C-alpha cells in the first residue's frame, strides 16, 4: 500500500530524460547537438532574466572572449576620448611639437594610458572637467582590470572535459555479430580515471496510431574503464536482446534515430568529476566499416603512442 503523498511515475515518463513530451515529439531537429549543447531555445523571459553576462563570458570560446574584450576596451576608450574633447579646447595639455593624428587620437591615446595606468606624461589633463573625467576613468579602469582578472582566472580554473569523439559512429561486424561503435580520446595532457559511458537510443515508434519518441539505454560491452590514457572504442553488441536487432539503415533514418552519449570521469588535474556529451544521428553512422588504428609503432624508447588526428579515419574492406 503506497503512502498518499507519493506519486507513482509512469514508466514512459521515467524514460523521458527530462526533454518533455513536446520536445521529444519534434521530428525536425536533433535533441543533442554534436558539441553537447541542447537544441532548445528559451523565450518569454524578462530582459534581466535573459541577461547573464557572467555565464556568457565563462562559456564562450576563447577567440570570442578575447575579441569581445579587446573590442570593449577600444570602444570604452573611444567614448572617453569623445568626452575629453567635449571638455573644451585646452582641457588636455599636449607637447609643444604636437602629436600626429589630431585631437581625437591624442585624447584616445591619453584615455588608453589612463585606463591601463601607464601614464607617459606627454598628455595630461588641465581643466577641472578633464581631471574629473580622468578620475572617473581611473576608477572604471581599476574595476575593469579586477573583473577581467577574475573572469580570466575563472575560465582557466573551470573544470571541463576535452574529449574528442569520432565524427562517424559505426555499425559493423563484431565477433560474429554486429555492433554499434564510436570512439573517443582525451586531447588534453590531463589524466582521467574511472571514465564511464552511457548511450541512449532514441527513435520514433508508432503508438496508438501516433508517432512517439522512445528512449532505451543500450547495454555496452564495457561501460567503464579505470584508466583512460589512450583511446577508447565504446561498443554496443547488437544481439537478439538489443533494440537495434533487425534494424536497417533505412529504418534508422525513417524513425529519426539518435544516439545520445554521456561521458563522465574523474580529472586528476581539477581533482573533480567532469562530464561531456554528444550525439550521433542515423546519417552520421557508417555501415560495414571499421576504424583505422590510431596506434603508432613504438620508437627506440618503447613509448606507446597514438595519433589522435586519425581518430576519424574509417576503413571499408
Which CATH fold would you assign to the domain 163-315? Immunoglobulin-like (2.60.40)
Helices (H), the chain: 11-14, 20-24, 47-50, 53-59, 62-86, 102-115, 128-157, 249-254
Per-residue confidence (pLDDT) for residue 27, from 0 to 100: 58
Q: Nearest Cα to 125, choosing from 78, 87, 93, 85?
A: 93
Instruction: Give the pLDDT mean for 35-63.
Output: 75
More confident residue, 10 or 170: 170
Between 33-37, 128-132, 247-251, the lowest mean confidence (pLDDT) is in 33-37
Classify residue 157 by its DSSP letter: H
What 3-state class would DSSP assign to 104?
Answer: helix
What is the domain class of 57-157 according to CATH?
mainly alpha
Distance CA 130, CA 127 (A): 5
Query: How does the average pLDDT of the chain come out, rounded?
Result: 84
> Would you place residue 52 in the very low, low, confident or very high pLDDT band (cuts 50, 70, 90)?
confident
Distance CA 230, CA 5 (A): 50
Among the ranges 58-72, 93-107, 196-210, which has the highest mean pLDDT value?
Answer: 58-72
Per-residue confidence (pLDDT) for residue 146, from 0 to 100: 94
More confident residue, 99 or 303: 303
Quote the crossing angle between the two packed helices 62-86 and 128-157, to the nearest 10°: 170
pLDDT at 10 over 60: no
Instruction: Give the pLDDT mean for 69-91.
Output: 93
Q: Nearest Cα to 76, choosing from 148, 153, 155?
A: 148
Residues of the chain with CATH 1.10.287.70: 57-157
Collect all residues with Cβ–Cβ distance below 8 Å to 262 and sequence separation of at least 6.
197, 198, 199, 200, 275, 277
Between 10-19, 120-129, 175-184, 252-261, the lowest mean confidence (pLDDT) is in 10-19
Amino acid at each position: 500500500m503506497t503512502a498518499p503523498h507519493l506519486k507513482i511515475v509512469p514508466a514512459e515518463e521515467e524514460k523521458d530524460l527530462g526533454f518533455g513530451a513536446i520536445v521529444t515529439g519534434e521530428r525536425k531537429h536533433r535533441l543533442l547537438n554534436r558539441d553537447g549543447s541542447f537544441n532548445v531555445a528559451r523565450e518569454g523571459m524578462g530582459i534581466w532574466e535573459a541577461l547573464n553576462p557572467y555565464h556568457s563570458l565563462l562559456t564562450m570560446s576563447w577567440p570570442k572572449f578575447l575579441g569581445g574584450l579587446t573590442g570593449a576596451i577600444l570602444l570604452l576608450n573611444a567614448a572617453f576620448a569623445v568626452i575629453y574633447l567635449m571638455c573644451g579646447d585646452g582641457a588636455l595639455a599636449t607637447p609643444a611639437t604636437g602629436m600626429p593624428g589630431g585631437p581625437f587620437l591624442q585624447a584616445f591615446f591619453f584615455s588608453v594610458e589612463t585606463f591601463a595606468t601607464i601614464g607617459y606624461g606627454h598628455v595630461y589633463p588641465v581643466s577641472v572637467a578633464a581631471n574629473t573625467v580622468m578620475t572617473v576613468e581611473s576608477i572604471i579602469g581599476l574595476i575593469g582590470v579586477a573583473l577581467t582578472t577574475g573572469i580570466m582566472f575563472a575560465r582557466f580554473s573551470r573544470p571541463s572535459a576535452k574529449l574528442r569523439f569520432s565524427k562517424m559512429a559505426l555499425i559493423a561486424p563484431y565477433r560474429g555479430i554486429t555492433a554499434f561503435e564510436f570512439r573517443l580520446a582525451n586531447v588534453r595532457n590531463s589524466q582521467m580515471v574511472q571514465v564511464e559511458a552511457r548511450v541512449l537510443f532514441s527513435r520514433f515508434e508508432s503508438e496508438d496510431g501516433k508517432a512517439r519518441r522512445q528512449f532505451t539505454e543500450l547495454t555496452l560491452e564495457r561501460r567503464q574503464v579505470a584508466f583512460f590514457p589512450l583511446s577508447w572504442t565504446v561498443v554496443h553488441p547488437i544481439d537478439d536482446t538489443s533494440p537495434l536487432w533487425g534494424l536497417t539503415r533505412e529504418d534508422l533514418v525513417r524513425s529519426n534515430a539518435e544516439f545520445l552519449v554521456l561521458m563522465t570521469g574523474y580529472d586528476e588535474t581539477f581533482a573533480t568529476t567532469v562530464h561531456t556529451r554528444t550525439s550521433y544521428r542515423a546519417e552520421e553512422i557508417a555501415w560495414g566499416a571499421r576504424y583505422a588504428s590510431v596506434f603508432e609503432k613504438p620508437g627506440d624508447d618503447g613509448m606507446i603512442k597514438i595519433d589522435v588526428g586519425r581518430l576519424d579515419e574509417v576503413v571499408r574492406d
